Structure 1
């Protein structure tokens, strides 16, 4: 009975001590979390109030006006810098209604926000739609975690821009250094973004949904690849009415409070280990003998219970789990271990085996290749004695791939074995598909580039460099679009002018993310067709993809086809259809400017006789000689065409009747002086009759009218003996 009484007394003392200490810790946590909440709300409300005041500042409104002069921008920059210093915030910057930063407190720093476009950030969109916006994110330029407070700036009732204040959360961390204990703050997606324990930061309290992952990637809120799930749940251990939490295998008292306006949750926690020690010391003070007996009983009982609870948990895990003590003797093993490692039941008949026994079994069945089993076992045992956490993959002889993770605790080594065969196959398939796609793009004749929302070229293929004749030193995994434009401007790809002006204009145009298609002829004569299509995620521009195609030969072929369609094949003069089109166009121009226009209608005299006497080959030679003579006599602005057979027509822009007769006479004499001989060395004489007509703008001449008058004049020339001008 005495023993029972002492044990009961010791147990009661320990319980009361633990509950009292837990109550004190809970009260302390409650007090500190209230202070912390008030501090956070005060800091954020102050910044929000200042942002609302800045949104009404006329100097900032002036800087947002279209084509604002430089002094307005300078005033805005200095104003934002002063505000940032007084607020002790990270940055204050001003954005226009398209999301481009026009002024910033860090305007005089190397990594200034000016010119950067943050329209994809939620705080900007919310400020435009709801007049205020808030957003927690890692800075794209600074790479520092910050909280953004945005207010819309209005002018005459119209939103012209947004003022944004970025709060450096390290300032909040400085405040918490004066407070004892650990803490972390989680956002609305249960992602820890601030903690006294750096290993907790960017850990998720719950599994992140696919929608949340897309949102984080699209807004670039956090580095998505760094986010992992933090193990946390309510522990079975309680101190009176106070529950404890297990976080990463450690138990804590936890106090939580929500910041409803921000959707944040603040966790303050204190370890339970000191309370256990305090309870133990109190129990020892009351009854050493009873406490020793109670502790012995309690430890045996607790160990068995913990072992049973842990065994129940691990038996239902999807991965294999083992626990070895510090002597490398197995204490816990679930059925999944036997399944994924293909261990027979006979290996466990005599109780749980040691690590050495398992290693020898594996070595003898060839799990580690053809190496000497004793050497393999000795090497693995030596590694285990170093007590180093490890993660590695091992491929079993049957093709199964296991991910093995080992973590050392004070009590021993806990190891998990996960079958990742299907996942590895999926990863390999994804890599193979990605490789095929990249190889396809790299081997295309078309140049291809992909540009992100910050105008960084994140993909390019070899054809792009070949078509634009770019040097190898520009080949980088990520190339700045601005650097490419500057290089092209310096080497004259865009014609004369200041290269920096070319860069500025093209960067501004690209930031609109509008589809475009145009042709550009390079200085070497090659013509490229450039097509750009914007990329969208959830309806918002996220960059664009551009293709570059060499259409030089296509353009040349089109020019040749145009020439064939518009030119007489024998004389290489304009054919009747094309000549008529040009004449109609010139008549309209003459009517608009009132300048004279003359027309000559020509017919080679007795040309049928030339064909009949000397043959059609000589007739063709005569027509070519006539065309060459005409080209030598006519001016560059004069246009000649072959209407058919031996009949030709010429129109003379800006030429009155006197000038037309002078030119017609020169033509007549030039034809008369053509020196031709036949195949039999007989001379061939050519003469031409010419009819002259003037466009009558007063009477509103049509093309038929002027041609009819020229034809009548030509008829008179033939009746009057040919080889003359009428």
Structure 2
């Protein structure tokens, strides 16, 4: 049948139905030629790019995505076009038109002619951006203390072990601080647990603001916090600990009724990486003993284990 022969009524109806289905599916459906140029896109792709079908066809991914993302897409495409693979993958795309970052679960498969030769490819990409955001948030919640937004105890130890391994490998100094709020029960009894939580939140943010980005901060539980300071020896560690102590002693937390301020102090125990303390557990135990000494010596001070 000549290619330019008009379609009969049934064929036109089937084609219309097919187009309706393809454009109604909540997925991005497209086809490309051997050079990676778009030969077909459904309406979802047009909406993604913010362009009409005519503005997309005949162009390749370099026109629509950031350079690095386009290269990744083309690498997958070449596996389909050059080797006839059908692949499933997850793709991260930065849409050039909007600057938006989107994630897709994609299936790509070759298109062959009647002789079995590859003449192009087609792909179906399902937007999984919201699922990715949820996964990231769930992972964050698994790692973060909900009250202070610091690392929780488990994640702090994981990060500390990673840093300690690096320090041991390269023989770099590491300092660990353990901090506890003095007379915190008195704060709760006097002002209530809600105000006590506010004190912990302010304390955590003040510590983050005072420390370096490379330092690891965590809430171990209750009013007890720990900080691992990479590339930090005794003298510098003491300077950091004293700075934290003084900054927190000067910090005030307004009461909920705005009729006063809560003042508090902290005690800090410090331990350095050495032959006797070369694991996170031994560093924490050493710092905990130094913290106990600081408490017994009158509080609002720094002691070294």
Fold match (TM-score > 0.5): yes
| Superposition deviation, residue 710 in structure 1 | 0.7
Q: 1:436-473 deviations in whole A, cap 9, x for unaligned? A: 22211012232101235565644321111211233554
2:264 counterpart SS class = coil
1:693 counterpart residue number: 271
1:511 counterpart SS class = helix
| Superposition deviation, residue 608 in structure 1 | 0.5
1:590 counterpart residue number: 167
**Distance change in 2, residues 1:428/1:454 (3 Å):** farther
Structure 2 matches for 1:255-294, cutoff 5 A? Answer: none
Which among 100, 109, 113 is matched to residue 534 of structure 1? 109
Distance 2:72 2:195 in 1: 59
Contact 1:519–1:530 (CA under 8 A) maintained in structure 2: no
Q: 1:327-383 deviations in whole A, cap 9, x for unaligned? A: xxxxxxxxxxxxxxxxxxxxxxxxxxxxxxxxxxxxxxxxxxxxxxxxxxxxxxxxx
Which among 46, 64, 68 is matched to residue 465 of structure 1? 46
Which among 30, 42, 65 is matched to residue 449 of structure 1? 30
Q: 1:159-206 deviations in whole A, cap 9, x for unaligned? A: xxxxxxxxxxxxxxxxxxxxxxxxxxxxxxxxxxxxxxxxxxxxxxxx
Q: 1:77-111 deviations in whole A, cap 9, x for unaligned? A: xxxxxxxxxxxxxxxxxxxxxxxxxxxxxxxxxxx
Which among 243, 251, 274 is matched to residue 666 of structure 1? 243
**Which structure carries more relative contact order (alpha carbon 8 Å, separation 6+)?**
2
2:220 counterpart SS class = strand
Which among 554, 575, 584 is matched to residue 131 of structure 2? 554
Distance 2:286 2:269 in 1: 8
1:574 counterpart SS class = coil
Range with greater deviation from structure 2 (578-587 or 522-531): 522-531
Distance 2:194 2:35 in 1: 69
Which among 457, 466, 484 is matched to residue 60 of structure 2? 484
| Superposition deviation, residue 650 in structure 1 | 0.6
Which among 153, 157, 160 is matched to residue 580 of structure 1? 157
**Distance change in 2, residues 1:519/1:683 (3 Å):** closer
Q: 1:376-432 deviations in whole A, cap 9, x for unaligned? A: xxxxxxxxxxxxxxxxxxxxxxxxxxxxxxxxxxxxxxxxxxxxxxxx9xx655543
1:628 counterpart residue number: 205
Does residue 432 of the first structure (1) align with residue 13 of the second (2)? yes
Structure 2 matches for 1:85-484, cutoff 5 A? Answer: 225-226=1-2, 428-452=9-33, 455=36, 457-471=38-52, 473-474=54-55, 479-480=57-58, 483-484=59-60
Distance 2:241 2:73 in 1: 55
| Superposition deviation, residue 519 in structure 1 | 2.0
Between Structure 1 and Structure 2, whose CA radius of gyration is higher?
Answer: 1
1:565 counterpart SS class = helix
Contact 1:641–1:648 (CA under 8 A) maintained in structure 2: yes
1:704 counterpart residue number: 281
Q: 1:222-268 deviations in whole A, cap 9, x for unaligned? A: xxx359xxxxxxxxxxxxxxxxxxxxxxxxxxxxxxxxxxxxxxxxx
2:81 counterpart residue number: 511
**TM-score, normalization by structure 1:** 0.37
| Superposition deviation, residue 555 in structure 1 | 3.0
Distance 1:557 1:507 in 2: 28
Distance 1:440 1:450 in 2: 16
Distance 2:204 2:24 in 1: 50
Contact 2:241–2:302 (CA under 8 A) maintained in structure 1: yes
| Superposition deviation, residue 632 in structure 1 | 1.9
| Superposition deviation, residue 521 in structure 1 | 2.6
1:589 counterpart SS class = helix
| Superposition deviation, residue 520 in structure 1 | 1.8
Structure 2 matches for 1:39-54, cutoff 5 A? Answer: none
Which among 52, 75, 95 is matched to residue 522 of structure 1? 95
Which among 609, 627, 641 is matched to residue 218 of structure 2? 641
Contact 1:528–1:548 (CA under 8 A) maintained in structure 2: no
Structure 2 matches for 1:28-39, cutoff 5 A? Answer: none
1:568 counterpart SS class = coil
Distance 1:645 1:614 in 2: 16
1:602 counterpart residue number: 179
**TM-score, normalization by structure 2:** 0.83
| Superposition deviation, residue 559 in structure 1 | 2.8
Distance 2:133 2:72 in 1: 29
**Distance change in 2, residues 1:639/1:458 (3 Å):** same
**Distance change in 2, residues 1:621/1:455 (3 Å):** closer
Q: 1:115-139 deviations in whole A, cap 9, x for unaligned? A: xxxxxxxxxxxxxxxxxxxxxxxxx
Which among 131, 140, 145 is matched to residue 568 of structure 1? 145
Distance 2:73 2:204 in 1: 50
**Distance change in 2, residues 1:595/1:454 (3 Å):** closer
